[in-house]
A and B are shown apart, each in its own frame.
Chain A
């Protein structure tokens, strides 16, 4: 049982916009800890995709963006492409549990 809750899957056609939610609590996201997002392509290690409020490591396209409000956060992918098919995880810090992850959301490009 993951501390942060994500939908199991989202899907969209090429070019469309999809969003992934990440719901936490007052001991993690709600208290102000940053939310970070990772992309895990099939058969590979996770990769940092978005960190902090809405910052991207070098090489990550600006089609990926993030936001947060209260005890939740969300990741948006615009201009959906076939190679965006992956599992996306949110991650934050919790006052009691240290580092916590979301359950992961599989993005399918129709």
Chain B
């Protein structure tokens, strides 16, 4: 069974930093593109970052320059470093996987990030 488990969420002040982690099991991790998708409670889904199997990364304009995605294939894990956090970054952050496709096949359970003073 493929499983993704996020960790690292919490409360952080505006302007602060937080690092999210996602550990994968049940898949050949190095072959997968890995994503972060967020959801403001009660609102829709927003794609946040992707790191390809080759290590290439992409971000939407809303987080580019502030967020950084990375991966450690030896630990079947990938990460989201979030800097210069704003109140509007408050959301549940999900990790998700895709393989040779442009869809999100498996999702983690999510971790809540709250940016507030």
Contacts and interface: CB of A to CB of B under 8 A. Distances in A.
Interface of A: 2, 33-34, 36, 38, 44-48, 51-52, 57, 89, 91-93, 97-104
Interface stretch (B23-31, B40-48, B82-90): B40-48
What does DSSP make chain A's interface, helix, strand, loop or mixed?
Answer: strand
A6 to B, nearest CB: 9
Contacts of B112: none
Interface residues of B, number: 20
Given A45-B94, A45-B110, A102 B44 contact: yes
Interface of B: 35, 37, 44-47, 50, 58, 60, 94, 101-110
Contacts, number: 57
A46 B44 CA distance: 11
B36 to A, nearest CB: 11
Contacts of B45: 38, 46, 89, 91, 101, 104
A98 B107 contact: no
B103 A36 contact: yes
A98 B50 contact: yes
Interface centre among B44, B50, B110 (most CB of A within 10 A): B44
